[in-house]
Amino acid sequence: MTELPTIKPFFADKQALVQEILGRYPEYGRRSALMPLLWEVQRAERHISLARQAEIAEILGLTLTEVKAVLSFYSTYHEQPVGQYHLQVCATLPCSLAGADELYDFLVEELGIVNGETDRAGRFSLQKVECLGSCTTAPVIQVNDTYYERVTRSRCKQLLAALRQGVLPEPWRERGGDSEGAATSSSGGDL
């Protein structure tokens, strides 16, 4: 039996939220609420501790093992706390062709941490991730939930400077082709 620390249950004062999440799914599909419950904890606490996993298991009538089995399958759930700013660098081919490998090396140099680590102050953590769907606006860094696209060397410095000031900048949403909004009903865009 695993010894779990006694801490205040996360969902104790969030019964309305729990009911809302369970209510999204049919009665017979209650287990579908597992991922959204994990997301709630992770967004609030930047990881999902064993105690929280046990709490979610209790809510859904599952075993701790079943919850952990699902959690550990996915790359964006964390069992250890990530930093206040969790930097996720896409390393897949289109980003790599736009310099993502150098971008990653630059972040390692600047932050003093490597893939999977969090700095001592708990401010920054770094994760190499797979395709983020920003291929036409590569390279991309996702900080927590926010995308920063076309991160050139100078823009990367700019982003780090802002984060070090404790400022999460507005997302850098870059576009290209028809995603720029050039398409009109009468012509085929920029042709």
Partner 1 sequence: MNEAVKEGIKPITSRHDPRFEVTLYRHVGVAGSHTLAFYLAHGGYQAAQKALAIKPGEVISEVKTSGLRGRGGAGFPAGVKWSFMPPVDGRQRFIVCNADESEPGSCKDRYLMEDDPHQLIEGMLIAGYAIQATLGVIYLRGEYYHAYQRLQAAITEARQAGYLGQNALGSGFPFDLILHRGAGAYICGEETALMNSFEGLRANPRLKPPFPAQAGVYGLPTTINNVTTIASVVHIMAKGAAWFAAMGTPDSRGIHHVQLSGPFKRPGVYEVPMGISYREIIFDLGGGPTLPVKAFIPGGTSCPLFPFTDEYLDTPMEYAAVAKQGSMLGTGGIILIPEEKCLVDAMYNVVRFYGHESCGKCTPCREGIATWLPKMYQKLLKGLGEPGDLELMESMVTNMRGTAFCPLADACAMPVQASFKHFRHEYEYLITHKEPMYKRNTWWND
Enumerate binding residues for partner 1 (CB under 8 A): 24-26, 28-29, 31-36, 38-39, 60, 69-70, 73-77, 88, 91-94, 96-103, 106, 129-139, 142, 145-147, 152-154, 171, 175-186, 188-191
State the minimum distance, in angstroms, from the CB of residue 13 to partner 1: 23
- Please name the residue that has the structure tokens 């599909």: 29
User: Residue 143 or residue 163: which is nearer to partner 1 going by CB?
Assistant: 143
CA distance 62 to 71: 13
State the minimum distance, in angstroms, from the CB of residue 166 to partner 1: 21
User: Residue 7 or residue 44: which is nearer to partner 1 going by CB?
Assistant: 44
CB 141 within 8 A of CB 98: no
State the minimum distance, in angstroms, from the CB of residue 15 to partner 1: 20
User: Residue 73 or residue 121: which is nearer to partner 1 going by CB?
Assistant: 73
CB 172 within 8 A of CB 139: no
CA distance 139 to 141: 7
List C-alpha distances in Å: 4 to 71, 93, 149: 18, 42, 41
User: Residue 7 or residue 23: which is nearer to partner 1 going by CB?
Assistant: 23
Return the structure tokens found at 175: 């576009």
